[in-house]
Amino acid sequence: MNKSLLIIATLGLLILFTSAYYSSPADSRIGYKAPALILGNDDNGLSPLQQHRGEMVLLTFWSSVDAESRISNIHYDRLSRHQKAYTHVSVNLDRSMSVYNNIVVIDDLNRSAQFCSSPDVQNAIIRSWRLDEGYHSFLIDAQGVIIAVDPDEKILASLH
């Protein structure tokens, strides 16, 4: 009887301790913890989101073949130059690094905010961030939770 009670108590403590460390599931919808972002070519081993952990981040996905996402990226890039409330992180999903590099120059983008994923991880990014029906931008709070998708200027201006 004592052995059974000890096993039950141990299991109860194990469940209690593991649930204390359980975080909400990752999903690319408002109110969920942002999915991981692995670019496949990051020299320092940290993804752009990990580099800005604990900060408000505006994460933008774009491609040169998707005019709307490219224009949005230019717009967010310009807005982010005049504020300090969030960090803009832009992820390009083109398959050609030379196309990406040329567009960064042509569009006069802030090079330090721009990242290009390697082709071998792009499908995983598209799946985990639900980009299969179009590219989006995500406002992520300091705790890593998505608080807005495709935020407008009014939302970004309200951040302090």
**Residues 99-115 pLDDT 10s:** 999 999 999 999 999 99
For domain 25-157, the question of CATH label 3.30.930.10 is answered with no
**In DSSP terms, which residues pair with 137 in a beta bridge?**
60
Convert the pLDDT of each residue in 119-147 to its tens digit. 889 999 999 999 998 999 999 999 999 99
> What pLDDT shows up at residue 18?
45
**78 class by beta-carbon count within 10 Å (0-12 exposed, 13-18 middle, 19+ buried):** middle
Kindly report the pTM of this predicted structure: 0.80
> What pLDDT shows up at residue 130?
94
> What pLDDT shows up at residue 144?
93
Query: Which DSSP letter does residue 141 get?
Result: -
Report the sign of the C-alpha dihedral through residues 124, 155, 50, 67, in that order.
positive
Structural domain boundaries in the chain: 25-157
Do residues 135 and 61 touch, judged by C-beta distance below 8 A?
Answer: yes
Proportion of the chain above pLDDT 90, given as a percent: 62
Query: Distance between CA atoms of 102 and 20, rounded to whole angstroms?
Result: 48
